[in-house]
Amino acid sequence: VTSFDIDKNAVDSAKSIKEKYGEPENWTILEGSILDPDFTSKLGEHDVIYSWGVLHHTGNMWAAIESARNLMKKNSLLYLALYSSEACVNPKPEYWLDFKRRYNRNGKVKRKMMELLYFLRFYIWHDVRSNLRGVAIFLLNCFDQVPTKLIPSEKLNSVVKICTFGKIPDLGTLLVRNREQPYTPSPFKNPFKYFWRSGRERNRGMDCWTDIRDWLGGYPMEFASNAETKRFCKDRLGLECLNIRAGEACTEYLFCNKEDKKNKAGFVPYGATEIIKGPFLKFGSVGWKFKITNSLAEKIQSTERPEPSLMILESSVPLGWEINASSEREISIIAEKGKGRHALINDWLYFSASDNSSPRDNGQTYEIGIMK
């Protein structure tokens, strides 16, 4: 095992872990940059190249990926996790790049103020807003007990539209639709838990303020779309995507050399695939839906569904962005944002092309694979 980083603190941290586990002789730790060809040329070739959430902080992500690819030997694997531009919907990537740039340029006092503003907006207000939404859903569900004939939706639309100066034009229609697909309230969230919750209880293994500084201080930083990364690795580096897991801030990819793909069946997380040919029905702006076959539905129902449960492939390349949902209301992001997102609800597959094109005439083929 060879580990390296340009940051001396990261190198020292790795060395302390090595020391803790008895200084294994087969573990080498070095200080150097993935962008330094003189350094990387001395590393040789390896069976597995692993970089989780690192290369997008180098200042030249594409060159860093190419340099990592040059460390692969025949029949090896490249595992990457990179910030996804598609996962950042609100705020968008441009917001974060600007925020982080200003944070790193400011002095200590201004950075503390930015940390506080970030904390209030993305921690406290996030939980408060979720609780307010829960109260609104509770009231919506209570309203469902009122007979429709007592307050016709058309009249309620008109009254609310007048009272809100046109800001809420379709409340009555919304309430009627809620009867068919009820909202599900989220569990109550305590916005003050961040003040006393210990670091190890948090998902990222650090206390709240360290987490904030870690995120805001992560600059330089680059984003890439899932399709963009797969296309670069295939066309420029001669790699095939074996697996992808999208939907979080970082998309995880597993690549192999193009000529080695047949030997890597054990790393493919889904079984035999079934081609879907339509008919594809339009779903929102960029989404589509498809009624799956009875045979595929039986296969899915006969197995315990893991998460994710399905892999959608576009021209044999996995999309890997399944959304857990139980109704069309919960998957509006597929309809409006797309970019390869998909979900299975009952016997309907809701999906989108990687470039939001139409599966009817974009020249791509689509397949469904059940996850093992």
Task: Encode pLDDT of 295-331 as tens digits.
Answer: 888 877 766 666 678 899 999 999 989 988 777 767 8
State mean pLDDT over 121-149: 76
Distance CA 192, CA 273 (A): 47
Q: Residue 354: name the closest of 370, 369, 342, 371 by CA.
A: 342
pLDDT at 171: 61
Is the pLDDT score of 292 beyond 60? yes
Contacts 24+ apart (CB under 8 A), 300-306: 300/344, 300/370, 303/370, 306/371, 306/372
C-alpha count within 13 angstroms, C-beta hemisphere, residue 297: 10
Is the bond preceding 93 in cis, omega lying within 30 degrees of 0?
Answer: no
pLDDT score at 177: 53
Mean pLDDT for 22-34 is: 97
Lowest mean pLDDT: which of 6-15, 173-182, 236-245? 173-182
Examine the pLDDT at 179 and tell me if it is beyond 60. Answer: no
- pLDDT at position 151 over 80: no
What are the helix (H) ranges across the chain?
A: 8-20, 37-40, 61-69, 93-105, 108-119, 125-143, 153-163, 171-180, 208-216, 226-235, 294-301, 332-336
pLDDT per residue as tens digits for the range 228-240: 999 999 999 999 9
Contacts of 370 (CB under 8 A, 6+ apart): 270, 271, 299, 300, 303, 309, 310, 311
pLDDT classification of 204: cutoffs 50, 70, 90: confident
- Return the closest-CA partner of residue 311 out of 241, 255, 249: 241
> Which pLDDT value is given to residue 181?
56
| pLDDT above 90 (res 133) | no
- In this prediction, residues 139-157 reach a mean pLDDT of 64
pLDDT of residue 147: 54
Q: What token pair was written down for 289?
A: 């839906």
